[in-house]
Structure 1
Amino acid sequence: MNLQTAKSPLSWTILTALVSLTSVSVTADEYQDMSDPLAVYSQAGMGVTNKGINFKFGQVYDTNNDSTMAMHVLEAKGFAADSLGLKGDDSFDSLRYRHFNVDINSGLGSQVDLSWDFDNKVGSASYSLIQALPKMGAVQFYPLAGIGINVADVHSSLIQPSPDYDGSIGYTIPSSFALVGFYSKIEITDDIWLNYNPMYTTQLGGVESFSNFYGWQHEIAASYQLNNRSNLRAFWNFGEVLQGTDFRVEYNYQF
Structure 2
Amino acid sequence: MMNQKISFLAFAAVSVNVWADDIQDMSDPLAVYTQTGIGWTQKGLNLKLGQAYDTGHSDSMAQHVLELKGFAGRVGTDEHADGSIDSMRYRHFHVDMTTGRGSQVDLDWNFDNDMGSASYSMIQALPKMGRVQLYPLAGVGISVTDNQGYSVPASFALVGMYGKLDISERIWVNYNPMYTSQLGGDDDYKNAFGINHEAAVSYQLTSTKNVRAFWNWGETIEGTDFRIEMNFQF
Corresponding position of 2:46 = 54
Contact 2:123 2:136 in 1 (8 A): yes
Corresponding position of 2:127 = 134
The aligned amino acid for 2:124 is: Q
Offset of 1:107 from its aligned partner?
0.2
TM-score, normalised to structure 2's length?
Answer: 0.94
Q: Deviation per CA, 1:127-153, whole angstroms, max 9, x where unpaired? A: 000000000000000000000000000
SS of match in other structure, 2:26: coil
Offset of 1:186 from its aligned partner?
0.2
2:219 aligned with 1:240: yes
The 5 A counterparts of 1:13-92 are: 13-17=4-8, 18-21=10-13, 25-27=19-21, 30-82=22-74, 84-87=76-79, 88-92=81-85
Question: Of 168, 184, 190, which residue of structure 2 is paired with 1:189?
Answer: 168
Cα distance between partner residues in 1 of 2:94 and 2:75: 38
Offset of 1:11 from its aligned partner?
2.5
The aligned amino acid for 2:211 is: L
Cα distance between partner residues in 2 of 1:26 and 1:111: 18
Cα distance between partner residues in 2 of 1:153 and 1:94: 14
Offset of 1:22 from its aligned partner?
6.1
Stretches (4+) displaced over 6 A: none
- Segments of 5+ residues of structure 2 without an aligned counterpart are none
Specify the structure having the higher radius of gyration (Cα): 1
Aligned residues: 230
Cα distance between partner residues in 1 of 2:76 and 2:202: 24
Question: Of 145, 163, 167, which residue of structure 1 is paired with 2:138?
Answer: 145
SS of match in other structure, 1:241: coil
The aligned amino acid for 1:73 is: V
Using the TM superposition, name which of 201-210 and 74-83 deviates more. 74-83
Cα distance between partner residues in 2 of 1:63 and 1:21: 14
Using the TM superposition, name which of 79-88 and 117-126 deviates more. 79-88
Cα distance between partner residues in 2 of 1:200 and 1:86: 27
Question: Of 148, 165, 176, which residue of structure 1 is paired with 2:155?
Answer: 176
Q: Deviation per CA, 1:75-133, whole angstroms, max 9, x where unpaired? A: 00001113545341111100000000011110000000000000000000000000000
Contact 1:21 1:58 in 2 (8 A): no
Cα distance between partner residues in 2 of 1:84 and 1:108: 37
Contact 2:13 2:30 in 1 (8 A): yes
Corresponding position of 1:158 = none
Cα distance between partner residues in 1 of 2:75 and 2:204: 30
Change (3 A) 1:21 1:143: closer
- Segments of 5+ residues of structure 1 without an aligned counterpart are 1-9, 155-168
Contact 1:14 1:199 in 2 (8 A): no
The 5 A counterparts of 1:203-222 are: 203-222=182-201
Aligned CA-pair RMSD: 1.5
Using the TM superposition, name which of 187-196 and 75-84 deviates more. 75-84
Contact 2:64 2:91 in 1 (8 A): yes
The aligned amino acid for 1:210 is: Y
Identity %: 58
The higher-RCO structure (CA 8 Å, 6+ apart) is 1
